[in-house]
């Protein structure tokens, strides 16, 4: 039997990038998967098809995680189709506007905080009644190495990711007695479509970053998915409130 057989997972922002990698990995290990997307239905359906090839069940659900009604609808659909929610991976996020703080508007700020931080809150808020009823749950929030270090021209992004790790630690204390664990994965530079956007703004940044990674290469979504797979497993019962850096050692080589 696969280690996640009988479990149901929602992975937000899973039509591409890190979320896609996590959805595919958890599906491969037997979980039913809700593939969440906000824009690309075609890509989400491709992920569903890939998961179903491995004999797991999956559905694609459109929802903007910054909107409470959308999130509630996604959770309701999950319960309607699969009967429960055992795993919530809050992956959906945005880089926001990459610019000096003097060029950031209030709208820019609200946009990134609403998606990156409020989105985590809304998904947890709507999922918790179901997890609490079952007295069991695994929640993963998606931080970043920028949760711990400064990054010029990314100040709004850094603020949102720092908030995620603080939120994670507090919820772990609060929800642990209910047998619901809350952890964060904090990746370094992952080679995804979002990284391609940064490469266009700063040509050569991928090569520059790779040179700072002691293990010698950029991360892949599969690297992050491997950590997610462990955190949602039975073996990780006593891992709670951890903010796990997955960056090949780069954070130790930033100067």
Average pLDDT over residues 19-35: 98
Residue with the bigger pLDDT between 146 and 175: it is: 175
Any domain includes 49: yes
The CATH number of the domain holding residue 236 is 3.40.50.720
Any domain includes 254: no
Distance CA 14, CA 91 (A): 7
**Burial class (CB within 10 angstroms; exposed 0-12, middle 13-18, buried 19+) of 255:** exposed
Distance CA 232, CA 35 (A): 17
**pLDDT grade, residue 195 (50/70/90)?**
confident
On average, the pLDDT of the chain sits at 94
Encode pLDDT of 101-144 as tens digits.
999 999 999 999 999 999 999 999 999 999 999 999 999 999 99
**Do you know the residue count of the chain?**
255
Helix residue ranges, H only, the chain: 17-28, 41-53, 68-82, 106-113, 119-134, 155-175, 193-201, 205-210, 221-231
Residue 45 has pLDDT above 70, yes or no: yes
Any domain includes 3: no
Any domain includes 81: yes
Any domain includes 204: yes
Q: Would residue 16 show up in a list of annotated catalytic residues for this protein?
A: no
The reply to whether the predicted model has a pTM over 0.75 is yes
Residue with the bigger pLDDT between 153 and 186: it is: 186
Any domain includes 174: yes
Q: What is the pLDDT of residue 11?
A: 98
Average pLDDT over residues 174-179: 96
Q: How many domains does the chain have?
A: 1
Any domain includes 105: yes
**pLDDT grade, residue 154 (50/70/90)?**
confident
Distance CA 83, CA 222 (A): 28
Task: Choose among 128, 163, 126: nearest CA to 142.
Answer: 163
Task: Choose among 239, 251, 236, 64: nearest CA to 144.
Answer: 251
Q: What is the pLDDT of residue 255?
A: 61
Range of the domain at 104: 8-245
Any domain includes 251: no
Distance CA 157, CA 101 (A): 11
């Amino acid at each position: 039997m696969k280690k996640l057989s009988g479990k149901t997972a929602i992975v937000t922002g899973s039509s591409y990038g890190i979320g896609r990698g996590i959805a595919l990995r958890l599906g491969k290990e037997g979980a039913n998967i809700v593939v969440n997307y906000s824009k690309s239905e075609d890509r989400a359906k491709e992920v569903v098809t890939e998961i179903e090839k491995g004999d797991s069940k999956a559905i694609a659900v459109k929802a903007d995680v910054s909107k409470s009604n959308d999130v509630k609808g996604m959770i309701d659909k999950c319960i309607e189709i699969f009967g429960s929610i055992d795993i919530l991976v809050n992956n959906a996020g945005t880089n926001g506007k990459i610019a000096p703080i003097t060029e950031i508007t209030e709208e820019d700020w609200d946009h990134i905080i609403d998606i990156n931080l409020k989105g985590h809150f809304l998904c947890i808020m709507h999922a918790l009644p179901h997890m609490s009823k079952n007295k069991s749950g695994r929640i993963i929030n998606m931080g970043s190495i920028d949760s711990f270090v400064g990054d010029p021209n990314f100040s709004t992004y850094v603020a949102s990711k720092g908030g995620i790790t603080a939120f994670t630690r507090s919820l772990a204390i609060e929800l642990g007695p209910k047998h619901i664990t809350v952890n964060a994965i904090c990746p370094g530079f992952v080679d995804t479509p979002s990284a391609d956007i940064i490469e266009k703004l700063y040509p050569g940044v991928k090569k520059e970053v790779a040179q700072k990674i002691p293990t010698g290469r950029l991360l892949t979504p599969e690297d992050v998915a491997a950590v997610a797979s462990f955190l949602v497993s039975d073996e990780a019962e006593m891992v709670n409130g951890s903010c796990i850096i997955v960056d090949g050692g780069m954070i130790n080589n930033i100067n």
